[in-house]
Chain A
Amino acid sequence: MLTFIIRRLLWTVLVMFVITVVVFILFFKTPGVDPARALAGRSPNPQTLAEIRAQLGLGRPFPIEYGIMMKKIFITRDLVSYSNQGVRVVQEVFAATPATLSLVFGAAVLWVVMAIGVGIAAALLRGTVFDPLIMVVALVGISAPVFWVGQIVNMISQGTLHSTFLFSWVPPLGYTPFTQSPVLWFKGLVLPWITLSILYIGFYGRVLRANLLEVQNEDYVRTARAKGISERRVLFRHSLRTSMITFVSLFGLDFAALVAGGALLTEVVFGIHGVGYLTWQGLENLDLPTIMATTIYGAFFIVLINAIVDIAYAWLDPRIRPA
Chain B
Amino acid sequence: MATLLEQVQVDTELRPAIAGRNPWALAARRLWRNRIAMAALLLFLVIVVMCLAAPLYAHDVAHVNPFVPNLNGHTVVNGKVVPVMQQGGGLLKLGETPIGPTWDPSHYFLGADSTGRDVAALLLYGGRSSLLIGIGAAVLCSLAATVIALIAGFFGGVTDSIASRTMDVIWAFPVFLLAICIGTELLTHSNGFQFGPVHIDPTSLWLPTIIIAFIYIPYVYRPMRGQVLAVVNKEFVEAATAQGAGNLRLIFSEILPNVVSTVIVLMPLMIATTILTESALSFLGVGVQPPNVSWGTIIQDGTALVYTRPWVTIAPGLMILLTVLSLNVLGDGVRDALDPRAKLRVEG
Number of A-B contacts (CB under 8 A): 132
User: What CA separation (Å) do A284 and B320 show in the bound complex?
Assistant: 25
Q: In whole angstroms, how far apart are the Cα atoms of A160 and B313 in the complex?
A: 14
Question: For residue B176, which residues in chain A have a CB less than 8 angstroms away from its CB?
Answer: 257, 261-262, 264
B182 touches A262 (CB 8 A): no
CB of A291 within 8 A of CB of B180, answer yes
Complexed CA–CA distance, A139 and B323 (Å): 12
Residues of A within 8 A of B303 (CB): 151
Kindly supply a per-residue 1/0 record for chain A positions 125-142, scoring 1 wherever the CB is within 8 Å of any chain B CB and 0 otherwise. Answer: 001000000000001101
- A38-B188, A261-B176 known; A143 vs B284 contact (CB < 8 Å): no
Verify if B329 is at the interface (C-beta below 8 Å from A).
Answer: yes
Asked whether, in the complex, the Cβ of B181 is within 8 Å of the Cβ of A140, the reply is no
- Please tell me if the beta carbons of A143 and B184 are within 8 angstroms of each other in the complex: no
Q: Is the CB of A19 within 8 A of B286?
A: no
* A152 x B169 contact (CB < 8 A): no
Instruction: List B159-200 residues whose CB lies under 8 Å from chain A.
Output: 168-169, 172-178, 180-182, 184-185, 187-189
Contacts of A243 on B, CB cut-off 8 Å? none
A180 located at the interface, meaning its Cβ lies under 8 Å from any Cβ of chain B in the complex: no
The reply to whether A32 and B313 contact each other, CB–CB distance below 8 Å, is: no
Residue contact A294 to B172, C-beta cutoff 8 Å: no
Q: Please give, as numbers and ranges, the residues of chain A lying within 8 Å of B314 by CB-CB distance.
A: 152
Interchain CB contact under 8 A, A152 and B181:
no
Contact B172 A299 (CB under 8 A): yes
Contact A302–B174 (Cβ < 8 Å) = yes
Do A298 and B313 form a contact, CB below 8 Å, given A27-B185, A139-B328, A147-B283? no
Most buried by B among A15, A30, A143, A260: A143
Tell me if A76 is interfacial: C-beta within 8 Å of chain B: no
> A19, A142, A144: which contacts B173 (Cβ < 8 A)?
A19
Cβ-defined contact, B185 with A283, below 8 A: no
Does the CB pair B285–A283 fall under 8 Å?
yes
Residue contact B272 to A143, C-beta cutoff 8 Å? yes
A155: interface (CB < 8 Å)? yes
Q: How far is the CB of B119 from chain A (nearest CB, A)?
A: 15
Most buried by A among B180, B302, B306: B180
Is the CB of A44 closer than 8 A to any CB of chain B?
Answer: no
- Scan A142-157; emit 1 where CB is below 8 A from any B CB, else 0: 1111111101101100
Bound-complex Cα distance A286 to B204 (A): 20
Tally A residues with Cβ within 8 Å of B.
51
- Measured CB to CB, the closest approach of chain A to B334, in angstroms, equals 14
**Residues of chain A from 272 to 294 with CB closer than 8 A to chain B in the complex:** 279-280, 283-284, 286, 288, 291, 294
A26-B182, A257-B174 known; A158-B321 Cβ under 8 A: no
Taking a contact as CB atoms under 8 Å apart, the answer to whether A151 and B188 are in contact is: no
**A33 CB–B CB distance under 8 Å:** yes
Contact A15 B172 (CB under 8 A): yes
- Chain A's nearest CB lies how many Å from the CB of B149? 20
Knowing A151-B306, A154-B306, A291-B184 touch, does A279 contact B177 (C-beta < 8 A)? Answer: yes
Q: Judge whether B317 and A143 touch: CB under 8 Å.
A: no
Q: Is A22 an interface residue (CB 8 A)?
A: yes
Task: Find out whether the CB atom of A299 lies under 8 angstroms from the CB atom of B283.
Answer: no
Let me know if A295 and B321 touch, CB within 8 A.
no
B280 interface residue per 8 A CB criterion: yes
What's the least CB distance linking A211 to chain B, in Å? 14
User: Which of B175, B188, B299, B320 is packed against the most chain A CB atoms within 10 Å?
Assistant: B188
Tell me, rounded to whole Å, the shortest Cβ–Cβ distance linking A208 to chain B: 15
Taking a contact as CB atoms under 8 Å apart, the answer to whether A148 and B329 are in contact is no
> Could you give 18 example pairs across A and B, Cβ below 8 Å?
A18-B169, A23-B181, A26-B185, A38-B188, A143-B321, A147-B299, A148-B320, A149-B317, A151-B313, A152-B314, A154-B306, A260-B174, A264-B180, A268-B284, A283-B180, A283-B184, A291-B180, A299-B173
11 new A-B contacts at CB < 8 Å, known A146-B280, A147-B283: A38-B188, A145-B299, A151-B299, A152-B313, A159-B310, A257-B174, A257-B175, A264-B177, A295-B181, A298-B177, A302-B174
Binding site for B on A (CB under 8 A): 15, 18-19, 22-23, 26-27, 30, 32-33, 38, 127, 139-140, 142-149, 151-152, 154-155, 158-160, 217, 257, 260-262, 264-265, 268, 279-280, 283-284, 286, 288, 291, 294-295, 298-299, 302-303, 306
